[in-house]
Amino acid sequence: MQPGFKPTANNQRFLSPTDDNIFPPSFLPVELIVNILLRLLVKYLLQFRCVCKLWQTLISETLIAKKRLAFSDYKNFYSYPLKSIFENPSAAHVIPHDSFSDLGIDDYYILGSCNGFFCFHDADQFNIIMYNPSIGLKSKCSPKISSPNWSMLYNGFGYDQVNDKYKVLAVLEHEDGDSDHEDVSYTKIYTFGEDSWRTIQDFLGTPIEEIGIYVSGTLNWLHHKWHKQYVIHSFDMEKETYRELLLPFVGDDCMCRPSLCVLHDCLCLCFLNKTHLFAWLMKEYGVVESWTKLMTIPREKLVCLKSIDRSSTIDLLFISNGVALLMVFSQLILYNLNSGELDHPLINIDNVFDPHIYSENLMSPRW
């Protein structure tokens, strides 16, 4: 014990008396230890499990893992300045391709990411795998979702918050090669931990993007409603039902396809007309009146958009300290909302089509 230190009710650690037989004495409140651990990268947490039994227990608990995930969603964006990505692109931290080598699949594509998990479609075996690259944990393979005569038209990966389950929605179309017969389509859903795909209510309409955007327990796609006008079709992960959400007025002079993305756990809409690039944020999910104009960039500042066409898309990846990171086709753009300064250096990302925001986590879901 430190000289002159006298234990009192206020400075003793916050554990029950029976815990003294399990953990060594500590003069730090458990709440403070947890607060420190929440700020560490996953790779360090995995190493620090051997410090003592208390740390091993705290780091291994699902509750701590969930708290850390929620904490990282809002804090870790500030740990790496956006400007440095452009000044020294080689120093930017990315998940190495080898991180997926232990999946045991060669031909795959990512259906989505959610809470630090990636969902992969194995194009050779026609099944689905969920994977946490931070701790190398993967689910067992799902039953086959398709076959050579079936194609996956639309899909989405997300989290059912009420039942604590991860799910994949897939719209499949049977191609019989006979032009005299209409192709047959089915909408199916798979819950990780179960042994079969279930057929559910038919998917609504024809979205303009293949992969649904996950936010607030829902998957979301943009659809054509009428000429040059769009709506959002939303799928509830818990209830497995659909509904339609209205957009702010986009106008009829869009120069490219509008796009949906997620920003700070809110749905975000980006579109470009003849004069400006706009970004709108739905601050309260499902409440049409909560659409708020987030950003307006004059078209003349976006010199890289001269060759853009209606098949192009614009994604707002995130905003930090008044600086926005956007992806236009395969071009990263850094835009200062206060000064109007724009940076778009040549970075070779020609093979990047679907950017994903990833948060490390320690979670082991129930499957």
Burial class (CB in 10 A: 0-12, 13-18, 19+), 350: exposed
| pLDDT at residue 243, as a whole number | 95
Class of domain 30-359: mainly beta
Classify strands 198-199 and 108-114 as parallel, antiparallel or unpaired.
unpaired
Task: Tell me the whole-structure pTM to 2 decimals.
Answer: 0.75
Return the pLDDT at 89: 53
**pLDDT tens series, the chain, 367 aa:** 434 434 444 444 444 434 444 555 556 787 787 777 777 777 777 777 777 888 777 776 555 556 655 555 444 433 344 455 555 555 444 555 455 666 667 777 888 888 888 898 887 778 888 888 877 778 888 888 866 677 888 899 999 999 989 999 999 887 665 545 456 788 999 999 888 899 999 988 888 888 999 999 999 999 887 766 789 999 999 999 999 999 988 766 777 788 899 988 899 999 888 888 899 999 999 999 999 999 888 888 776 665 666 666 778 888 888 888 888 766 778 888 888 887 765 555 555 556 666 677 766 766 6
Report which of 78, 79, 93, 88 is spatially closest to residue 347, judged by C-alpha positions.
88
User: Where are the domains positioned within the chain?
Assistant: 30-359
Which of 209, 222, 128, 132 is CA-nearest to residue 167?
128
> What pLDDT was estimated at residue 274?
82
Query: What's residue 25's pLDDT?
Result: 55
In three state form, how does the secondary structure of the chain look? CCCCCCCCCCCCCCCCHHHHHCCCCCCCCHHHHHHHHCCCCHHHHHHHCCCCHHHHHHHHCHHHHHHHHHHHHHHHHHHCCHHHHHHCHHHCCCCCHHHHHHHCCCCEEEEEEECCEEEEEECCCCEEEEEECCCCEECCCCCCCCCCCEEEEEEEEEEECCCCEEEEEEEEEECCCCCCCCCEEEEEEEEECECCCEECCCCCCCECCCECEEECCEEEEEEEEECCEEEEEEEECCCCCEEEECCCCCCCCCCCCCEEEEECCEEEEEEECCCEEEEEEECCCCCHHHEEEEEEEEHHHCHHHCCCCCCCCEEEEEEECCEEEEEECCEEEEEECCCCCEECCCCCCCCCCCCCCCCCCCCCCCC
Q: What is the pLDDT of residue 64?
A: 57
For the beta sheet containing 218-226, the strands, ordered from the edge strand earlier in sequence to the opposite edge, are 213-215, 218-226, 229-236, 242-245
